[in-house]
Structure 1
Amino acid sequence: MRDVIVVGAGAGGPVVAKELAAKGLDVLVLEAGPRHADPRAEWTSFENDANNPLTGFLRLGPTDRTRPAWFRELPQNSFVWQVSGVGGTTQHFYGNYPRPYPGVFDDYTGPDAAAYDIQHRFPFGFRELLPYLEWVEATAPVATAAMGHKEQTFFRGCESLGLPVQTTKTTREASYRPQQNAVLQPHGTAGRSADTDLLHYPRATGCTFCGYCFQGCMRPVGAPRNQYAKRSTDNSYVPMALTADAWARGGKPSTLITDAYVTRIHAETRNGKLTASGVTWKDNTTETEHREDARVVVLAGGCVENPRLWLNSGLPNPNDWVGRGVTDHFLDWVVGVFDDPVGNPKGVGSAARADFPSKGGLENVGVPPALHAFAMNFSDSGIHGHYANGRGPVGPWDGPAGRLTGPMLKDLMSGRLENLLSVVVLTDDDVQPENRVVRSGLPLGDEHGPVPKVQMWGRKRTRRTLENREFLARRAAEVIRGAGAKRVYRIDWAPLLLHIQSSMRMGGSERDSVLDSDAQSRAVRGLYIADTSALANALGGPNPTLTTQALATRTAEKIFAEHFGGDPWVYADNPVVSTDPRITVRLGQLGL
């Protein structure tokens, strides 16, 4: 019997594995997708090769790319952009690590407290989570993003609105700032040269400004895995979890099995309480099934897979909140066209942001051509300029919002990519029970059982969510116009599920949450959740990775104390050892 089984090796699972392995526990990590052990040999920077949702190496599917991707039913115009494999969706994220807004926690009493989703706050205070945020920031490590011309242009637009510069890690007022991100700073020739012959480790370290963040990170050339620039968990927490004995006294390396799709959670009654006892998993290659038992099971398979696995396992759902309450930051895209190049898409994918607490935020984003074309063509408002009266929202952008197609899209993509400045809207959306993951009613499942159905009704959001999104889209257009753009277009994205949160939310009430304040299931003892599905809400709009990993660290500590008689460790005055052996930081030195 194992001590702990972790299901999923994305953003949160490796954090729990690393922390508990460091305490000497026997931890097994089961990942449904592949492990790309040598990205430089297995990957390319070609967009279709990486991002094709059916055949790309960053898709939701097994290691064998000739086999079908895993299916989700989407009853509305939407797209779920998840990645299977070690590192999960962090393989294609931009490494942005902003802190959550304090207003989403239950101890917040600021003047704008009522402007948040007050019915679905975190069941503890921001101050309680702060040491765990600092722990992750030191471990990843998190630092001020390396910036270039597009960030300078974005900041000029923010200044035109009279926004102040944010100078602390915790954001409490409308402001703009460089991103706090987990991308190693460029040193040596990195960021100073476009000559690929000069961008080899150790002559170049950190971000080389290649611009291919979304296709995974495998640079600088020749760098060891834990020195790849972007700190996706396959480059950060996973190596630490698998070598725990090498860096922590008394630690024990975790065991990782890939292509291991968990199909059932087992539970039995112990001392009058239903208690998790293990899992059944299926080998994607041999189709054989295996049973593993453990004292604790931690789900970290993501906002779609966790509800599916729970429901397919027949576990209790007494309040019908398993899979409910999904938040997605109701994203949108606003793009400006400039006369001169602004540096898109060179450098870190997203290195600048503007925050509007209680409403959400804006991020300057640079992406390669195919992704940019996709972003400008994914809309809920029809074709821009095609309808006589317009169908999309009107505002400080050119014409009604809508997708850009045909000659207009060709014109923007033909030699003008560097002249585009793109801003993504991150809405603080409400937790709504109607937005949910359920088992599909389709008669055929897949090789792992009934498939999930993801319901995200873009036009049926709460009034607060819709008002927040419109406010932010207007601010984005004003920022771009203020920076000097000659034309500004709003796309009015359909639900693009990049930031998926809260489908198995923790909360203070049994009426509308699956987890208690320790992230333990209310219905099944010894069953925890440690990924974005555990988040109580949309965090106010900031990217979810930092909060998810801080919460996973806290959850690991709770597991260790309750089930293995251990003492807390985050509050101790111990050094935090990052993936870079040169970095040693004491928590008390980090502050706010």
Structure 2
Amino acid sequence: MTRDVIVVGAGGGGPVVAKELAARGLDVLLLEGGARHGDPRREWTHLENDANNPLTGFLRFGPPDRREPAWLREEPQNSFLLQAAGVGGTTLHYFGNSPRAYPGVFHGYDGADRAMYDTAHAFPFAYRDLVPYYRWVEATLPVQTAAMGVKETVFLSGAEKLGIPVQTAKDTTGWSYRPQENAILQPGGTAGRTGDPAELQHPRATGCTFCGYCLQGCMEPPGAPRNLYAKRSTDNSYVPMALTAAAWSPHGRDVTLLADAYVTRVHTGHRDGRLTATGVTWRTGATGETHREDARVVVLAGGATETPRLWLNSGLPNPNGWVGRGYTDHFLDGVTGLFDHDTGNSRGPNSAARCDFPGHGALENIGLPPAMQAYSMALSDSGIRGRYRNGRGFTGPWDGPTGRVIGPELKEVLAHGIDRLLNVLILTGDDVEAHNRVTQSVLPPDSHGPVPKVVFRSRERTRRTQANREFLARKATELLRRAGARRVYRFDWAPLLLHVHSTMRMGLSADDSVLDADARSRWIDHLYIADNSALANSLGGPNPTLTTQALATRTAEKIFARHFGGDPWVGHETPVPSTDPRVSAAL
């Protein structure tokens, strides 16, 4: 049997392609190496270690059986790759933030600030070409203006005093501040009005219940159908739509989803004189059995680390050496303010307000539960505050040098209470750099083949990248001071590889890209990529998921037109929201 399409990976991008093509009647097989969390209310908890422990947590990067070890990645530098396996992928613990990319990272941008972007690695089409696909995804998820709480009030009060305007449009062209555009359903009924669990049952409560546990996956409100869980991670949005496509689409065909199915090889053959993708082999973790299935089109969506690993392990062509290169990560950093009053740090959606500084990057407020708060303050590439500087350490408008806050100092800060802190995440508009990359490790292979090695030279970033990070750290500090913080800490984080992109980048030039403007392999026919690795660059700083999903929608449309004789649909049809009652009924 030959499928129409095989999609490898059910994270942020794969389910988008699967849903869109299934809605047009194609036979789609969606393979995911991790678990399928079918009943989060039974399988999950809000306990931080239970969820986020990188070795044993239910949102770790590893097999479904938590008694088995996590999957290995070699990280020779001081860094932490924070990703989750399973249906939903890393969107399981993302904050739902869904801003559009800055127009300056696209081909043809002619703004006065164009020199402030990595123009050598621009997207190979114009920003306006992606806007219809943004709109499609925003309506499908749906993306809405975030619900506001105490921490957003504090953050936005500081942003206002920076003297920048409020942004009212989705397209970001200048310095501004605003509530987040996020993929979390607005609270309704009793949600957001009470903390009494008895009062927070669906349908009395709808949307976000302000539980504050976005990092632990979303299972709120209790009793809701899966497609009405508040956070629109793909396990709650695109996957339910893919599995029920026949119920809500006139021509739809339900997707076949297999979890615990780790793809180990992409197969190729020659067709019409061209090397062509023909299918994949996967391994079932529970039994060790291997399976092969063929398809007319193969779409890789395993993420910015696993997609290049699969490519290299499959022995696919890499004539320009750019497979796995160009790893961008927003060069994240953290700044935390200590206040004399309640900041609401632990309550509500974990991030619901932001400042944008196109040409530099962005700032966003981050609410954290206690263990992640302590972790964020104890992560640094500058050593330990007051003890040693690790050959580094920055001074500035924050209090004291950068570095880890540990021991008595950390206890003293946390003794004031988690809700006296306010965190600002720095999202740097970083350059594509060839030496930041994924390769095959020389460590012993695991059951899926050679393991990936993630190489990151955090101290050798371009001058522009480093200057952007410092600019944003100072803006974050100024914001917190103006909001009323009496003490401000900056940490100079070691690479926290959370927003990772562009390792299989599309590009203008065949010399430094793997994909053409349609996210199609330059060297292998019928092979596409639909995850963060396909992004041409780091978007200038904005969170990547919405752009990846818009690009995946565009890629699905290109596949349908090129290989199955179909017509484009974005701009010609009305998108169906993932909250549609027909999806609920079919589930």
| TM-score, scaled relative to structure 1 | 0.97
CA distance in 2, matches of 1:125, 1:166: 22
Matching residue of 1:460: 460
Aligned 8 A contact 2:345 2:418 in 1: yes
Q: Which amino acid aligns with 2:143?
A: V
- Deviation track 1:222-262 (CA, whole Å, cap 9, x = no partner) reads 11101100000000000000111101111100100000000
**1:160, CA displacement in angstroms?**
1.6
Matching residue of 2:541: 541
CA distance in 2, matches of 1:264, 1:67: 22
**1:441, CA displacement in angstroms?**
1.7
CA distance in 1, matches of 2:6, 2:116: 39
Q: Report the 3-state secondary structure (helix = DSSP H, G, I; strand = E; otherwise coil) of the residue aligned with 1:575.
A: coil
Distance 1:252 1:479, change over 3 A: same
| 1:576 to 2:575 alignment | yes
Alignment of 1:297-316 (within 5 A): 297-316=298-317
**1:195, CA displacement in angstroms?**
1.2
Matching residue of 1:527: 527
Alignment of 1:326-475 (within 5 A): 326-387=327-388, 391-442=392-443, 444-475=444-475
CA distance in 2, matches of 1:388, 1:186: 45
CA distance in 1, matches of 2:417, 2:410: 10
Matching residue of 1:133: 134
Matching residue of 1:40: 41
Matching residue of 1:208: 209
Matching residue of 2:493: 493
Matching residue of 1:288: 289
Matching residue of 2:103: 102
Matching residue of 2:585: none
Q: Which amino acid aligns with 1:512?
A: D
Aligned 8 A contact 2:279 2:293 in 1: yes
Matching residue of 1:587: none
Distance 1:389 1:466, change over 3 A: closer
Aligned 8 A contact 1:210 1:346 in 2: yes
Aligned 8 A contact 1:506 1:514 in 2: yes
Q: Percent identity?
A: 67
Aligned 8 A contact 2:337 2:488 in 1: yes
CA distance in 1, matches of 2:581, 2:264: 42
Aligned length: 582
**1:389, CA displacement in angstroms?**
11
- Deviation track 1:19-67 (CA, whole Å, cap 9, x = no partner) reads 0001110000010000000000000000000000000000001110000
**1:508, CA displacement in angstroms?**
1.1
Q: Report the 3-state secondary structure (helix = DSSP H, G, I; strand = E; otherwise coil) of the residue aligned with 2:454.
A: strand
Q: Which amino acid aligns with 1:480?
A: L
CA distance in 1, matches of 2:390, 2:362: 30
| 1:146 to 2:144 alignment | no
Q: Which amino acid aligns with 1:77?
A: N
| 1:155 to 2:156 alignment | yes
Matching residue of 1:92: 93
**1:457, CA displacement in angstroms?**
1.0
Matching residue of 1:61: 62
**Which segments of structure 1 move beyond 3 Å, counting only runs of 4 or more?**
387-391
Q: Report the 3-state secondary structure (helix = DSSP H, G, I; strand = E; otherwise coil) of the residue aligned with 1:459.
A: helix
Matching residue of 2:9: 8
Aligned 8 A contact 2:383 2:389 in 1: no
CA distance in 1, matches of 2:241, 2:134: 18
Aligned 8 A contact 1:377 1:403 in 2: yes
- Deviation track 1:73-108 (CA, whole Å, cap 9, x = no partner) reads 001000001100000000000000000000010021
Aligned 8 A contact 2:7 2:14 in 1: yes
Aligned 8 A contact 1:149 1:343 in 2: yes
Q: Report the 3-state secondary structure (helix = DSSP H, G, I; strand = E; otherwise coil) of the residue aligned with 2:438.
A: strand
Aligned 8 A contact 1:146 1:348 in 2: yes
**1:181, CA displacement in angstroms?**
0.2
Matching residue of 1:508: 508
RMSD: 1.3
**1:412, CA displacement in angstroms?**
1.7
Q: Which amino acid aligns with 2:354?
A: R
Aligned 8 A contact 1:51 1:59 in 2: yes
Matching residue of 2:50: 49
CA distance in 2, matches of 1:445, 1:387: 37
CA distance in 2, matches of 1:119, 1:99: 20
Matching residue of 2:230: 229
CA distance in 2, matches of 1:463, 1:107: 24
Matching residue of 2:276: 275
CA distance in 1, matches of 2:139, 2:574: 10
| 1:261 to 2:272 alignment | no
Aligned 8 A contact 2:381 2:390 in 1: no
CA distance in 2, matches of 1:482, 1:391: 28
Q: Report the 3-state secondary structure (helix = DSSP H, G, I; strand = E; otherwise coil) of the residue aligned with 2:464.
A: helix
CA distance in 2, matches of 1:237, 1:562: 23
Q: Report the 3-state secondary structure (helix = DSSP H, G, I; strand = E; otherwise coil) of the residue aligned with 2:303.
A: coil
CA distance in 1, matches of 2:409, 2:299: 49
Matching residue of 1:590: none
CA distance in 1, matches of 2:388, 2:382: 10
CA distance in 1, matches of 2:515, 2:442: 26
- Deviation track 1:439-496 (CA, whole Å, cap 9, x = no partner) reads 0022x11111100000111111000000000000110011001100000000100000
CA distance in 2, matches of 1:391, 1:434: 21
Q: Report the 3-state secondary structure (helix = DSSP H, G, I; strand = E; otherwise coil) of the residue aligned with 2:556.
A: helix
Q: Which amino acid aligns with 1:114?
A: A
CA distance in 1, matches of 2:219, 2:268: 41
**1:414, CA displacement in angstroms?**
2.6
**1:581, CA displacement in angstroms?**
2.7
CA distance in 2, matches of 1:365, 1:196: 24
Q: Which amino acid aligns with 1:440?
A: S
Matching residue of 1:116: 117
Aligned 8 A contact 2:14 2:301 in 1: yes
Q: Report the 3-state secondary structure (helix = DSSP H, G, I; strand = E; otherwise coil) of the residue aligned with 1:256.
A: strand
CA distance in 2, matches of 1:482, 1:218: 36
Unpaired runs of at least 5, structure 2: 583-587
Q: Which amino acid aligns with 1:93?
A: Y
CA distance in 2, matches of 1:474, 1:336: 13
Q: Report the 3-state secondary structure (helix = DSSP H, G, I; strand = E; otherwise coil) of the residue aligned with 1:409.
A: helix
Q: Which amino acid aligns with 1:85?
A: G
Distance 1:62 1:389, change over 3 A: closer
**1:387, CA displacement in angstroms?**
3.8
Distance 1:274 1:368, change over 3 A: same
CA distance in 2, matches of 1:231, 1:388: 41
**1:391, CA displacement in angstroms?**
4.2
Unpaired runs of at least 5, structure 1: 584-592
**1:571, CA displacement in angstroms?**
2.1
Q: Which amino acid aligns with 1:63?
A: P
CA distance in 1, matches of 2:418, 2:476: 19
CA distance in 2, matches of 1:479, 1:105: 29
Q: Which amino acid aligns with 1:538?
A: S
Aligned 8 A contact 1:21 1:254 in 2: yes
Aligned 8 A contact 1:391 1:400 in 2: no
CA distance in 2, matches of 1:126, 1:418: 40
CA distance in 1, matches of 2:449, 2:551: 30
Aligned 8 A contact 2:309 2:438 in 1: yes
Aligned 8 A contact 2:237 2:579 in 1: no
Distance 1:415 1:222, change over 3 A: farther
CA distance in 2, matches of 1:135, 1:125: 17
Aligned 8 A contact 2:105 2:118 in 1: yes
Q: Report the 3-state secondary structure (helix = DSSP H, G, I; strand = E; otherwise coil) of the residue aligned with 2:137.
A: helix
Distance 1:180 1:582, change over 3 A: farther
